[in-house]
Amino acid sequence: MRAIRVALLASTLASCASVEASRQPVDVEMRNVALHLSGDVTLHVRHLRGHFVATGRSGIPYLDDTSSYQVMVDAGQVAIDVASLNALLTRTLGNGQSNVRKLTVSVDDKGQLQQSGTIDKAIDLPFSARGEVEATPDGRIRVRTRTVKGYGVPVSPLLKLFSVEMDDLLKVPADRGITVDGNDLLLDPSRLLPAPAMRGRITNVRLEGQMLVQTFGTGDPGPLSPPAMSGNFIYWRGGQLSFGKLTMTDTDLELVDNDPRDPFDFSVDHWNDQLVAGYSKTTSRRGLKAIVPDYDDLSRQRPSKR
């Protein structure tokens, strides 16, 4: 009887240890990655350190289901190009979800962010605005408006005369990731981006050419241990992580660009196609390293259907 009780106790402890391991976040490091979150939204990850946190019932991030985890960014630099930013604005404000139509952004020759669109009020009001970007104390992006024009003429004096600001004209649902504050726009990337959700405190933001560059935390992520040996990669360590039919415990999974001459082009929706087209090997630590082609190279050869 005592032997049975000991066996049951050991089984229970092992089960608890397994559950506890599944709850541990999975550390992640990325460097020089063009991260396709969808067909029209790409993040340019210069370097990033953070962790994957499960959101599903299993308690384990599942790479084939972007709704099963969130990416918590501790530090790094991530840029988004103007085309992707416009795609996000269309998703957020389009289809009658606000009274703003055809809102687009661009970077002018003075390095300012230019916004243009039409406000659906009593009459349609075409407008354009120029502004600068900065990080807010709570980690969002403020587009600080400097000039506003309607029908091609300055409207700021007119708005001031009637004590009206842009937030009286622009109506955006509160949960869409865009807030109007006076004449400024506040952007919350964690709500704007498609899954997987990426959350972290933005400490600096700036425009570089046609890129909006965000700094998270200190901006210096530091390598995982042991460090990755390649230049362009995504690297997961610790906790439990699932993909395909496999679940890794004490995860040690590294995806490496097979062509380091340009950024690692990676699709969160079609990454299995990249695995199939590449090859993998077991490391001395019994981890897994996969060397895969860029997604844009793969899609030119054989378009993948989702």
Q: Band of the pLDDT at 269, cuts 50, 70, 90?
A: very high
Query: Are β-strands 288-292 and 252-257 bridged in parallel, bridged antiparallel, or unpaired?
Result: parallel
State the burial class of residue 244 (Cβ atoms within 10 Å of its Cβ: 0-12, 13-18, 19+).
exposed
Q: Please tell me which residue, 51 or 179, carries the higher pLDDT value.
A: 51
Token output for 199: 């959350």
pLDDT digits over 203-222, tens only? 999 999 999 999 999 998 78
Q: Where are the domains of the chain?
A: 23-81+215-301, 83-189
As given in the structure block, the two tokens for residue 140 are: 């969002």
Please, what's the largest Cα pairwise distance for the chain? 90
- Greater pLDDT, 174 or 197: 197
Q: How confident is the model at residue 200 (pLDDT cuts 50, 70, 90)?
A: very high
Alpha-carbon Rg for the chain, nearest whole angstrom, is: 23
80 or 162: which carries more pLDDT confidence? 80
Per residue in 96-138, pLDDT (tens digit) is 667 777 778 889 888 889 888 777 766 677 777 788 999 999 9
User: What is the DSSP pairing of strand 26-36 with strand 264-267?
Assistant: parallel
* pLDDT band, very low/low/confident/very high, at 15 (cuts 50, 70, 90): very low
Amino acid at 184: D
Q: What is the pLDDT of residue 306?
A: 45
pLDDT in tens, 36-75: 999 999 999 999 999 999 998 889 999 999 999 999 999 9
Residue 130 has a pLDDT of 85
